[in-house]
Structure 1
């Protein structure tokens, strides 16, 4: 009987404040969608970082006929210089750090360049292409050891770390995540304030019923429960809509578009999205319950 009465009061409140409830639902929906997107973006950044770190290489470029660095004053790297670099990479100091080592001759490097960038075939010749050692490290963060070992060595034109080119991308994605979190935070604050306002308006509209309940000895908890549930129901609907938007975005935007066009890169999937859903719902419900509970307690004390 008490449960039926509480549910009846909840439905009454939702019906009387339909426009405000719709506003709460929409604000909660938008804010929690940003929250879910931010969580998935951070997961994607971590996945991509791990993926590229495992495959990132340090490339040691030998001097070619067009190299103009101080270590290439003698022209094309000699066989002795190339052999010295190979011996250093395979020596006792560096070899424990290396997972895989490969050597690409100028002819092989030129063929790969033409295959990947055909337009460059008319700009470079095989003699102008550098031989290169490709070094895959066990720990990609130790690339500075390779750089220091060959920095200033005769016959070595330059040493490049592929992770250095990826860091700006990761930084940009991280900034985008922070922006999404910031927008979500502002929207959540708006949702909390809107829920509190809705509950106070609902309590004011039913002040006569609340007065009667007090007169017949109803406890504060019994009086507060319907109002708290109103906020929770509105936020729950918004959070479920946000969860649906996150799932649809991953299903069609990531798996249906990005994976098909950039399948070599690991992307977040439906499994990750399903893990985000309970987090989104929990955030919406908890914030709504706290906001509504605080608002109705203050109103009852007034």
Structure 2
């Protein structure tokens, strides 16, 4: 009997305040969708880091004819200098940092240059003699590239030491700023959702103050009186979370995987599986915000 009464009260409340319920659903959809994008942005940054840092190398370019760097005072790198660099790379103090070392000759460097710039006129004006020899160092932890870079900078026979991490660090700093912006926007919309739910519940309670007054007179508890209002807001939030989840999975599938990943293939992207892992959190956040907001609003404004 009590269960049927609560169901009837919920249906009456939703029917009387259909416009407000729709507003709660729409605000919940937008806020939770942005929260979902925030989660995916975090996952995308982590995915890109795993993809790119696994491919990062420290490149130790050796002195060539005409090099003017501090380590090239004696001209082109000698065999003794090359052997010393090779020995330093194999030294025990670098064992915790260096994974593999490759020596790239001028011919190999020229071949790679021609492949990389095959559609550019630049490749027609470069000769083998102009390409530097280099050591390509794979790191066990790419984020510790500075240890190797600092050790070989200005070393005799070394013209320059370069690492892609320097570019990647700036890229990921920008991505982290964008991710922070997404989280801030999501937080603002969640606050709007909380305020709208609280306002909706207060208005609903005011329009049904006569019914709640009668319930109090016949001995109904505060929780029993408040339960229909709380469930109304949670139902609207659940609908909003469901729609936000569909939108998030759809964007991931059709926009990220089917379009972006097919046109820009230079990295890995988040997939539908990542979006599905976010879905339960959207329901938890949506239902939690709706339930708590409604409860607190009724504690203060439901006067019977």
Measured against the shorter chain, the TM-score band is: over 0.9
Of the three residues 228, 231, 240, the one matched with 2:230 is 228
1:294 matched to which residue of 2?
Answer: 296
Structure 2: 5+ residue runs without aligned partners?
none
CA displacement, residues 241-299 of structure 1 (integer Å, 9 cap, x when unaligned): 11111111111122212332344633222221111000011100000000011111212
Give TM-score, length-normalised by structure 1: 0.94
Q: Name the structure 2 match of 1:128.
A: 130
Please say if 1:199 is aligned against 2:201. Answer: yes
Structure 1 stretch displaced more, 151-160 or 140-149: 140-149
Equivalent residue, structure 2, for 1:158: 160
After superposition, what is the alpha-carbon deviation per residue over 1:184-204, rounded to whole angstroms, capped at 9, x for unaligned?
111011100100110111111
- What is the match of residue 38 of structure 2? 38
1:132-190 residue CA offsets vs partner (Å, 9 max, x unmatched): 11001122233223223212112211111221110111111111111111111110111
**Measured at CA, do residues 20 and 163 of structure 1 come closer, stay the same or move farther in structure 2, by a change above 3 Å?**
same
Between 1:273-282 and 1:56-65, the stretch displaced more is 56-65
- The structural deviation recorded for 1:96 is 5.0
Q: Deviations over 1:43-91 (max 9, x none)?
A: 1211221232222111101123353322224443233322322232233
Write the deviation string for residues 205-245 of structure 1: whole angstroms up to 9, x where unpaired.
11111112122222211110111111111111111111111
| Aligned pairs for 1:166-245 within 5 A | 166-245=168-247
Residue equivalent to 2:50: 50
The residue aligned with 1:9 is 9
Equivalent-residue separation in structure 1 for 2:21 and 2:62 (angstroms): 68
Q: Give the whole-Å Cα distance in 2 for the aligned partners of 1:171 and 1:8.
A: 53
Task: Name the CA distance, whole Å, in 1 between partners of 2:278 and 2:111.
Answer: 46
C-alpha distance in structure 2 between counterparts of 1:193 and 1:92, whole Å:
61
Indicate the larger mover: 261-270 or 104-113: 261-270
- The equivalent residue for 1:111 is 111
Q: Find the aligned partners of 1:115 and 1:42 in 2 and give their Cα distance.
A: 34
The secondary structure found in structure 2 opposite 1:93 is: helix
- Asked whether the equivalents of residues 145 and 165 of structure 2 are also in contact (C-alpha less than 8 Å), the reply is no
Q: Per the alignment, in what secondary structure is the counterpart of residue 302 of structure 2? A: helix
Classify the secondary structure of the residue corresponding to 1:55. coil
The answer to whether the Cα contact below 8 Å between 2:241 and 2:282 also exists between their aligned partners in 1 is yes
CA distance in 2, matches of 1:59, 1:24: 56
SS of the residue corresponding to residue 58 of structure 1 reads strand
Indicate if the aligned counterparts of 1:66 and 1:128 stay in contact, CA closer than 8 A. no
User: Which residue, 259, 270, 278 being the options, matches 2:280?
Assistant: 278
> What's the RMSD between the two structures over aligned residues?
1.7
